[in-house]
Structure 1
Amino acid sequence: MVLSKVGKKINDYATLVMFSHTIFSLSFAVISMMLASKGSPSIHTIFWIIVAFMGARTGANAINRVIDAEIDEKNPRTFMRQLPQRMLKKKEVIVFTAVCFLVMVIAAAMLNPLCVMLSPIALFLMIIYSYTKRFTWTCHLVLGITSAAAPVGAWIAVTGEISWVALFMGAANTLWVSGFDIIYGAQDYEFDTINGIHSIPARFGIKNALCFAALFHVVTVILLVFVGILSGELGVIYYIGLGIISILFIMEHRIVSPDNLTNVKIASYGINQIISITFLIFGFVAVIVK
């Protein structure tokens, strides 16, 4: 009985923080780490980057659920989530979030001084994002910028400084996440409009929002090309990966339209998980093979 309850609690938290979505920014963090270390990161660096990443993204998703609990309860799409259904208590999720963020800061301290100095900015972004939908349609970009802390932070963790490669990688991560978040947000167009929730679909309409998303993903590929050029560490294998990613982006945008949003989840999450894994595999091999 005790083990059953513990198992259920773990499953509830894994669902709460969308553990299966970890791959989205992890791939960018890993490739950034590999580039910064020229393919040879130390075990110490790998370990603490992963700990910092997991603490940050888990805490960010948990606090997002707390802050959005009332909105989620009203939305027919989200009212079955753990907090609206009282499967978890707000106080315990807040404590869980605090522990995750503490783990992130400790991991940053184990890496280098600049990581620690910048950690308050990362924490601020992870918390403020959940409030942005209440006052600005740029909330998707704020989410993207928050996600970009992964590759930029990984670079800083290795080198102790910021470079153009890291910034281009962060910009690509920003527009990639922002783009598929816009697609995902299209399904809440009516709810957002009625309840005063700000988003690009609610502000500009679904058709224009999907155009924004497509533009963001075109620029994402362009920025990743610049990453390859600037790094000097990536060759043909990397660009083959980008070619596959470009095809996946085209598929993603072809299966959704203003008149047909039935494939929104596949487009925004399913295909982008494949994109992330593709970027991770081809980027990793490219750095190793050179």
Structure 2
Amino acid sequence: MQGDAPKPDGQVAYAVKGNWVDQIAPAWSRPYLRLSRADRPIGTWLLLIPCWWGLALAILWDASPRWEDVWIAVACALGAWLMRGAGCPWNDISDRHYDGAVERTRSRPIPSGQVTVKGAVIWMVLQALVSFVILLSFNRMAIWMGILALLPVAIYPFAKRFTWWPQVFLGLAFNWGALWAWTAHTGALHWPAVALYFAGICWTLFYDTIYAHQDTEDDALIGVKSTARLFGANTPTWLRRFIVGTVSLMALAVILALDLADNYWALGIALVGPWAMGWHMTWQLRIFDAENNPRLLQLFRLNRDTGLIPLIFFILAALI
């Protein structure tokens, strides 16, 4: 666990090189933006993409795109940025006694002393309040779905202390947007959105197991559980299962959302999405190396592109 000390300029060790926070953000704001992972945007993408899946599939389901869908898409982006920004302080406050003992995370703002716990709480609450104001612009069902989203978010930081499957709880939290965006468009929850939600959870199990392999040695020493530690040398087998689950459940969501008799071209195009996503995940599996941390981080970040692939085909299908 002996790693480099936090960088004197406060940069997080595994932040994206040349990111805007470290380059152009005002100096006073940098610790808080780092706390929100603004220098590591992949998490925002992974939170946002299921929202856009849900919206696109809902538009396909009722074949009624509306101007307010533009606001839903924009609100998804704003909400993903703000709620990730609020969720990360909660995670880091909960993990502050662990992060300092793990080489990869000891440079985060709280364990490195850049931000106090009190400051982190205030920053978290401010972002959550702005998110709530945005939420109030939607229908009642979407408002309640947004409030319910706080439950898996609250539980996730503690999951790795009582289960070997904390990635399931991350999946529950990170893919809630698929349910929310569907209800924001339709005003109700339907089975296609549920199937899409579980597809997203399988996807999260795939990419976060890869991510967790970076910390297996430190996690074993401090007693933190993860699917990476649970699977060990069998990780490729489990990753393959998560690929099958992702593709199958997303294809089911598409089939449930679209009536073959109504528009078989739209159905065919939309079904290419999960198939192409599965091929991208399979390619990641082929170059997966549990002992190569730079490769693991690269693969994790590549999942932004993975998630955008089916979205492209959902949008194309909606244009038919």
TM-score bracket, shorter-length normalisation: 0.7 to 0.9
In the alignment, which of 105, 118, 137 is matched to residue 78 of structure 1? 105
| Residue 220 (structure 2) pairs with residue 193 (structure 1) | yes
Displacement after TM superposition at 1:181 (Å):
0.6
Structure 2: segments with no counterpart, 5+ residues = 1-22
Displacement after TM superposition at 1:260 (Å):
4.9
Distance 1:93 1:166 in 2: 34
Instruction: Give the equivalent residue in structure 1 for 2:244.
Output: 218
| Residue 274 (structure 2) pairs with residue 242 (structure 1) | yes
Amino acid of the residue matched to residue 30 of structure 1?
Answer: W
Q: What SS does structure 2 have at the residue aligned with 1:256?
A: coil
Distance 1:281 1:13 in 2: 33
Q: What SS does structure 2 have at the residue aligned with 1:111?
A: coil
The CA deviation string for residues 25-74 of structure 1, in whole angstroms up to 9 with x for no partner, is 32221131133243335144444444433332221122112221221110
| Residue 175 (structure 2) pairs with residue 148 (structure 1) | yes
Instruction: Give the equivalent residue in structure 2 for 1:280.
Output: 311
Q: What SS does structure 2 have at the residue aligned with 1:263?
A: helix
The CA deviation string for residues 52-103 of structure 1, in whole angstroms up to 9 with x for no partner, is 3333222112211222122111001111122221222222221111122222
Query: What is the Cα-based RMSD across aligned positions, in Å?
Result: 2.3
Instruction: Give the equivalent residue in structure 1 for 2:5.
Output: none
Displacement after TM superposition at 1:227 (Å):
1.8
Displacement after TM superposition at 1:284 (Å):
2.1
Q: What is the TM-score when the length of structure 2 is the normalising length?
A: 0.80
Distance 2:24 2:72 in 1: 35
In the alignment, which of 29, 32, 35 is matched to residue 16 of structure 1? 35
The CA deviation string for residues 177-202 of structure 1, in whole angstroms up to 9 with x for no partner, is 12211111122112111211111222
Instruction: Give the equivalent residue in structure 2 for 1:90.
Output: 117
Larger proportion of helix: 1
State the aligned residue count: 284
| Residue 174 (structure 2) pairs with residue 171 (structure 1) | no
Q: What SS does structure 2 have at the residue aligned with 1:110?
A: coil
Instruction: Give the equivalent residue in structure 1 for 2:188.
Output: 161
Distance 1:175 1:223 in 2: 9
In the alignment, which of 189, 207, 213 is matched to residue 233 of structure 2? 207
Moved more, 204-213 or 93-102: 204-213
Q: Percent identity among equivalent residues?
A: 23
Distance 1:27 1:224 in 2: 14
Distance 2:310 2:297 in 1: 20
Distance 1:222 1:5, change over 3 A: closer
Instruction: Give the equivalent residue in structure 1 for 2:130.
Output: 103
Q: Say if 1:242 and 1:279, in contact at 8 Å, map to a contact too.
A: yes
Distance 1:124 1:98, change over 3 A: same
Q: Say if 2:289 and 2:296, in contact at 8 Å, map to a contact too.
A: no
Q: What is the TM-score when the length of structure 1 is the normalising length?
A: 0.88
Instruction: Give the equivalent residue in structure 1 for 2:148.
Output: 121
Distance 2:235 2:169 in 1: 16
Instruction: Give the equivalent residue in structure 2 for 1:32.
Output: 54
Amino acid of the residue matched to residue 273 of structure 1?
Answer: R
Distance 2:88 2:130 in 1: 15
Distance 1:34 1:111 in 2: 17
